[in-house]
Structure 1
Amino acid sequence: MGLSAKTNLRVRYAETDKMGIVYHANYIVWFEVGRSALFRELNLPYTEFEKQGLGLAVIDANCRYRKPAQYDDEITIVTEIISMSARSITFSYRIIREKTLLAEGKTVHVFVNKEGKLTNVKSYEIWQDLQPIIEQQGHLQKNL
């Protein structure tokens, strides 16, 4: 297990369909909740990336639904950085209710500049904060 964070939340009524089951797109929203929490735990809230003119564009997202979440369930989002390079970062996610795996997924993001063009995160000040964290966990890819 690499860099990870756990985020707890309770399923809101607005996140469910007429049958009381969580609408499938909300899992992707929960992935974002988990990513944001992980960055905050690293003392690197997403606002710090934005202040430097850096963004993270999603280029791939997938989710495998195992069991349905329902209104008022208490769930845990487990988010993990599984790889990172100077141009991209990949996260994995698990949505769990008690000990039951409800869904799992992955997102791949590329670093982009203010104009939305692919960029190298090493040319930004935030790299000084990211590099030691990633190296400590053994996630820094050799192609940096």
Structure 2
Amino acid sequence: MSTEIVGEARVRVRYAETDQMGVVYHANYLVWFEIGRVELMRQLGLDYKAMERDEGCLIAVVEATARYKAPARYDDELTIRTRLVEARGPIVRFGYAVVREADETLLCEGSTTHVVVGRDMKRRRMPERYAEAFLAATAVSVL
């Protein structure tokens, strides 16, 4: 039986991340998705900074979705759970769940779709090392 690879990152809601209603402003979830995505890549043994620097390769967001289930508030401790949903050619898709640690309440779930581009912002092939790691991660995932 295979096991899903899920990256986990933890954040504590800062006061500046809340709005006038006292809940987390919706766009902050996209920032947290990025935190989760970078941590998952680290867990897979990949270094996004090195990918940019050494390979001249970027992973541009072309689509982002978020479905809000419950509010997060100031000082809540949250876990961002990230999984690699798809890696096909230059397309990479991640899935996210943001959960309040205290009671395991699902606050938000979403996804981002990315296209691999060069510094010229033109589509290009994923560097082989990264493509192999992504393929291995999707091959063992139970989705």
Aligned 8 A contact 2:84 2:134 in 1? no
User: Cα deviation per residue 1:23-66 (whole Å; 9 max; x = unaligned)?
Assistant: 00000110000001111122212112102100011111000001
Q: Distance in 2 between matches of 1:120 and 1:75?
A: 34
Q: What TM-score do the two structures reach when normalised by structure 1?
A: 0.87
- CA distance 1:138–1:67, shift in 2 (3 Å): same
8 Å contact 1:2–1:82 — kept in the other structure? Answer: no
2:62 paired residue number = 59
**How far 1:134 sits from its partner (Å)?**
2.3
Measured in 1, the distance between the counterparts of 2:138 and 2:61 equals: 23
Is it true that 1:138 corresponds to 2:139 in the alignment?
A: yes
Q: Which runs of 5+ in 2 are unaligned?
A: none
Structure 1 position 85, deviation (Å): 1.3
Look up the match of 2:13: 11
- Tell me how far 1:73 sits from its aligned partner: 0.2
Indicate which of 33, 36, 39 corresponds to 2:38.
36
Secondary structure of the corresponding residue to residue 42 of structure 2: helix
- Superposed CA deviations along residues 80-131 of structure 1, whole A, max 9, x for unmatched, are 001101211000000001311000000000000110001111xx3xx23540
Give the structure-2-normalised TM-score.
0.87
Quick one: which amino acid aligns to residue 139 of structure 2? Answer: G
Q: In the comparison of the two structures, how many residue pairs are matched?
A: 135
Match of 2:73 in 1: 70
The Cα shift of 1:133 comes to 5.4
1:83-94 correspondence runs (5 A): 83-94=86-97
Bigger drift between 41-50 and 99-108 goes to 41-50
Q: Which moved more, 1:21-30 or 1:38-47?
A: 38-47
1:106 to 102, 106, 111: 111
In 1, the alpha carbon distance for the partners of 2:9 and 2:137 equals 22
Query: Conserved in 2, the CA contact under 8 Å of 1:36 and 1:46?
Result: yes
SS in 1 for 2:75: coil
The CA deviation at 1:3 is 2.8
**Structure 1 alignment gaps of length 5 or more:** 140-144
SS at match of 2:38: helix
Query: Could you say which residue in structure 2 is the equivalent of 1:118?
Result: 123
